[in-house]
Structure 1
Amino acid sequence: MAASGIELATLGHRIRHHRLARGFTLDELGARVGVAGSQLSLIENGRREPKLSLLQAIASATGTDVADLLSSEPPNRRAALELELERAQSSPVFRRLGIAPVRAGKTMSDETLESILGLHRELQRREREAIATPEEARRANTELRLRMRDADNYLPEIERLAEKQLKAAGHTSGALTHRTVSIMAEQLGFELIYVADLPHSARSVIDLENGRIYLPPASIPGGHGLRSMALQAMAHRLLGHTPPGDYADFLQQRLEINYYAACCLMPETASVAFLSQAKKDRNLAVEDFRDAFGVTHEAAAMRMTNLMTTHLGIPLHFLRVDGAGAITRVYENDGLPLPMDVTGSVEGQIVCRAFSARSAFEEQNRTVEHYQYTDTPGGTFWCSSQTGTTAEGEFSITVGVPFDDARWFRGRETQKRAVSTCPDEACCRRPAPDLTARWEGKAWPSARVHMQMFSPLPRGAFPGVDDGEVYAFLDRHAAG
């Protein structure tokens, strides 16, 4: 029959049920079917698969038929409980605990079995919640994006907290220094330590017992990477974060620590004063804001989404797009038509070829911002795009506003204009009719498969972090 372990267990329970219903002991039924009672015991316990001829003999002796014995349904409630326990204790979730399985003997009551199974069901439920499927992750990310859009991407409590911490550390103006970041850590009872052997799965590690924040020894030019990572680590403590209970909780915490770091690197009071003056001068520019506070172009662009609607009354959008045109980070509250899947998720979607976020890749001079007006079904938008390159490939950073607000920005005089009719596929996703007529059925490209399509999302309270590696790292450094 080549039955599975679960099928054999169910079969064994059904044989035992019919044997007991006829009042036979193992030896008595064995004598009737021509096998030892010990052999029947192995079959009833699901440890041995019987031949069809023996099954026929058992069915005849117990007054039933083979089809009844082979039914996948447990014969009674007790058998159903025992089978569920067997399945639960054979699952990877239970085996990872390293706990010895419980044997459901005759003396164990149904109530005890139910209680044990309740614990297993809760364990499985928590495991399912801890591991977000791609669909769950996209849904959680979309819900967070929409909540932040409703709030104009502005979190006043974190703004006030950052200003308070900066004031306590003596920071008044200019770019935030590494020394000031160290003072902020010290005021929280932490020492910043730069090490070369951080766990590969963690950007930083906080040693709560010894009051240390471990960071890598180097960052991208300018040092803003290290400042930001240190501030993010401190934010977990300042914001009272506990280990995330699910993927949505993890995303919310990540957003909050990034927001706090941005508030410290580009403080609200100084940033609003800078942006307000630039607006008054009709000379708003991401690159000026970036250089004034010594941060990355992307950080400055994202910070503008936090402040410009609330303080300057300007709705806007932000896009980070990779070289293939896929959105990797996004924010909009200005009505820009964005591609999205059926769940409403935007990340990973391909933006229109006419958008400056993609056309900027075609520019020869990559060191400056490129400006463009784009007519879309949602209106006309002015955009400023800057491209860059990392180890993962090309990317572009775009900040844009509706046509009427372009008057506040440098680059508004650009004559470059494009038209996008997306999501109409005739815009840029469908080949031109003449090309289709010429080449349809005559091309066979080899598709580039991205292996992340098949990769499960990282699991654990801190997704993707190897706890064993982190604990070994802490133990190694605590002894030093």
Structure 2
Amino acid sequence: MDDDVRTAAEDERMLDSLTIGRRIRQLRTDRGLTLDDLGAALGRAASQVSVIENGKRELKLGELQKLARTLQVSVDELLSAEPPSKRAALEIALERAQRGPLYASLGLPPLPVRKSLSDDAIQTILALHDELQRLHRERAATPEEARRANTQLRRQMRQRNNYFADLEARAKELLSAVGHEGGPLSQRVASDLASHLGFSLHYVPDLPSSTRSVTDLKHGRIYLPVNQGAGSDPRSTLLQALASHVLGVSEPKDYADFLRQRVETNYLAAALMVPEHSAVEFLRAAKEKRELSVEDLRDAFAVSYETAAHRFTNLATEHLGIPVHFLKVHESGTLSKAYENDNVAFPTDALGAVEGQLVCRYWSARRVFDVDDRFSPYHQYTDKPSGTYWCTSRIQSTSRGDFSVSVGTPFAHVKWFRGRDTANRSASTCPDEGCCRRPPADLAARWEHNSLPSARLNSSLLAAMPVGIYPGVDSTEVFEFLEAHSPGQ
């Protein structure tokens, strides 16, 4: 906070010195005085007057009064914050830019502000400087900016029921081009799709550690890892690379653009693995039997449970008329991903962001971790402030720990789902702290002043937006990799 205040104060002083200096120069030239003339009247050398006019020295009150008398103006007029002319305003802005840390970081020599430097030239330089500042601010997006962008994106997804008709149409067009008539997408068909788009596949052991895949657009190659991580789907990695190419993913303009690109790429990849027409037929038949199940969708299309759950949220409201919510929760209880269009109340911070918030310990997304049977899905009814919801949850293990993946719906729609006959029931009044965040009085009395826990923070939730042409990727490492694997090398 002190640094921010100090910087603001320094900027204000700089602005005052520059504005006063330009006003003194303007008044001097208006009165036909030279630097020597004004210096003689003040008892100063001409070089010292030049330093004052260039805003490089703050003036004392006595000096200001003497200057005002010499230039025949009031002290108040001399101290006016308004630049004396449009040209002076441009010169002040250019001087301020050159004295700032961004200009210093560029390693450029100082640019003298001479009369020969036109107004248009100064405006162009200032515009370039402002654009560089904007890019630096956005590349170093604060956690607050990132969370605001994520909150806005989630709101937009809710408005469209998490359904992207244009991406569904693109997936249908691509699958038709390789003769896929429906059902699960095999690895062979995924490879055919790569060939159709002009790419050959190359499995390598030395893929850059910051990447899942690397696409060589120059030679039409996609590099994939020889060994996939536990629980990962090789089709998913390939299809996400192809989706990025099809959607023309490029350097994001800001954090919101970065998040949008990720959502659209993942959506298109999932729409290829679980084609809309086949999936909707399957889900409608299950609804008619009142046997809707995320597990069945997973098994029918040979995808991960999380992919099936995501895909269910894409299609359930649009084609089945069922409002839903989705959660991915870490074993610590923190919320990793969430979506809803059924008015369930997720925990949020002051910005409306849900990422990193603690989920109520009475929700199925938390209760599932206490269940020994991890083979069967866990179903639960929960009475929440906005109504009663039914939810189905499963646990998936990753290198970052265990996560629960949950899909839920309001009580009025549970009649369509398998597992509706569960006896598991709970009640939650969160975000009321008395629900599960405030310890029982007897425990608090014993331990409130006799404990000192050390929190383990999820650093990714506090991180700035990854930097680079492709955020989060080491560009040098990728370019060296491509150079080493380029045909003919």
TM range (shorter): 0.7 to 0.9
Q: Deviations over 1:277-314 (max 9, x none)?
A: 44445443333332332221111111111223333333
Flag the 1:445–1:239 CA change in 2: closer, same or farther, 3 A.
closer
Any unmatched runs of 5+ in structure 1?
none
Contact 2:214 2:224 (8 Å CA) reproduced: yes
Identity fraction in percent: 52
Q: Partner of 1:402 in structure 2?
A: 410
Distance in structure 1 (CA, Å) of the matches to 2:269 and 2:178 = 15
The amino acid of 2:239's aligned partner reads L
Unpaired runs of 5+ residues, structure 2, are 1-9
Structure 1 residues 207 and 87: alpha-carbon distance in aligned structure 2, compared to 1, 3 A threshold? farther
1:162 to 171, 175, 178: 171
Please state how far the C-alpha of 1:369 moved relative to its aligned partner.
2.2
Q: Retained in 2: the 8 A contact 1:165–1:184?
A: yes
The worse-fitting range, judged by mean Cα deviation, of 297-306 and 94-103 is 94-103
1:248-397 mapped onto 2 (5 Å cutoff)? 248-397=256-405
**Contact preservation (8 Å) 1:88, 1:94:** yes
Show the counterpart of 1:209: 218
Q: CA deviation at 1:262?
A: 0.8
Other-structure match for 2:7: none
d(CA) in 2 for partners of 1:477, 1:72: 60
Distance in 2, Cα, partners of 1:196 & 1:308: 40
Deviations 1:11-64 (A, max 9, x none): 654664565566554445556666654455456445678999998987887678
Q: Are 2:170 and 1:141 aligned? A: no
Determine whether 1:218 maps to 2:227: yes
* Distance (whole Å) between structure 2 residues aligned to residue 146 and residue 6 of structure 1: 41
Read off the aligned partner of 1:286 and give its amino acid letter: V
SS of the residue aligned with 2:191? helix
- Secondary structure in 1 aligned to 2:356? coil
Call closer, same or farther: CA 1:355–1:190 in 2, change over 3 Å: same
Residue 334 of structure 1: CA displacement? 2.6
Measured after TM superposition, the shift of residue 327 of structure 1 is 1.6
Q: Distance in 2 between matches of 1:171 and 1:280?
A: 26
Rounded Cα–Cα distance in structure 1 between residues aligned with 2:221 and 2:478: 14
DSSP-derived class of the 1:193 partner: strand
SS in 1 for 2:89: helix
Shift in CA distance, 166/99, structure 1 to aligned 2, threshold 3 Å: farther
Q: Give distance in 1, aligned partners of 2:250 and 2:303.
A: 29
1:293-341 Cα deviation digits (max 9, x unpaired): 2221111111111223333333322110112322211122233222233
Pick which of 292-301 and 197-206 moved more. 197-206
**Comparing 101-110 with 178-187, which one deviates more in the overlay?**
101-110
From 117, 122, 127, give the equivalent of 1:113: 122
Evaluate the alpha carbon distance shift between residue 6 and residue 453 of structure 1 in structure 2; reply closer, same or farther with a 3 A threshold. Answer: farther
Alpha-carbon shift at residue 227 of structure 1 (Å): 1.6
Does the residue aligned with 1:182 lie in a helix, a strand or coil? helix
RMSD of aligned alpha carbons? 3.9
Q: Does 1:229 align with 2:237?
A: yes
**Cα distance in structure 1, aligned partners of 2:447 and 2:394:** 35
The answer (yes or no) to whether the contact 1:131–1:460 under 8 Å persists in 2 is no
Match of 2:196 in 1: 187
**SS, match of residue 193 in structure 2:** helix
**SS in structure 2 opposite 1:300?**
helix
Question: Does structure 2 retain, via aligned residues, the 8 Å contact 1:316–1:399?
Answer: yes
With 376-385 and 163-172 compared, the bigger mean Cα shift is at: 163-172
Alignment partners' CA distance in 2, 1:397 and 1:406: 18
Q: 1:146 to 1:62 in 2, by over 3 A?
A: closer
The answer for the alignment partner of 1:419 in structure 2 is 427
Q: Secondary structure at the match of 1:427?
A: coil
Which residue matches 2:482?
Answer: 474
Offset of 1:448 from its aligned partner? Answer: 4.4
**Per-residue deviation, 1:380:** 1.8
Matched letter for residue 465 of structure 2: L
Indicate conservation of the 8 Å contact 1:361/1:387, yes or no: yes
8 Å CA contact 2:355–2:461 kept in 1: the answer is: no
Distance 1:76 1:163 in 2: 61
Aligned positions, number: 479
2:369 alignment partner AA: F
Residues 344-386 of structure 1: CA deviation (Å, up to 9, x unaligned):
3333322211101011122233343222111112222222211
Counterpart residue identity of residue 260, structure 1? L
Match of 1:396, SS?
strand
Task: Check conservation: 1:222, 1:294, Cα contact below 8 A.
Answer: no
Q: Distance in 1 between matches of 2:291 and 2:70?
A: 95
Residues 66 and 334 of structure 1, relative CA distance in 2, 3 Å threshold? closer
1:130–1:461: 8 Å Cα contact kept in structure 2?
no
Q: Deviations over 1:59-113 (max 9, x none)?
A: 8876789999888775655443222112224445556666665432023344543
TM-score, normalised relative to structure 2: 0.81
Aligned 8 A contact 2:250 2:470 in 1 = no
Say whether the 8 Å CA contact 2:378–2:392 is kept in structure 1. yes
Note closer, same or farther for the CA distance 1:445–1:243 as it changes in structure 2 (3 Å cut).
closer
CA distance in 2, matches of 1:417, 1:470: 51
Q: Does the 8 Å CA contact 1:321/1:397 hold for their aligned counterparts?
A: yes
What CA deviation, in whole Å up to 9, does each residue of 1:152-187 have, x standing for no partner? 322233223323322332434664333321211111
Matching residue of 1:82: 91
After TM superposition, the structure 1 stretch with the greater mean CA deviation from structure 2, 237-246 or 365-374, is 237-246
Counterpart Cα distance in 1 of 2:315 and 2:325: 12
Partner Cα distance (2:458, 2:284) in 1: 44
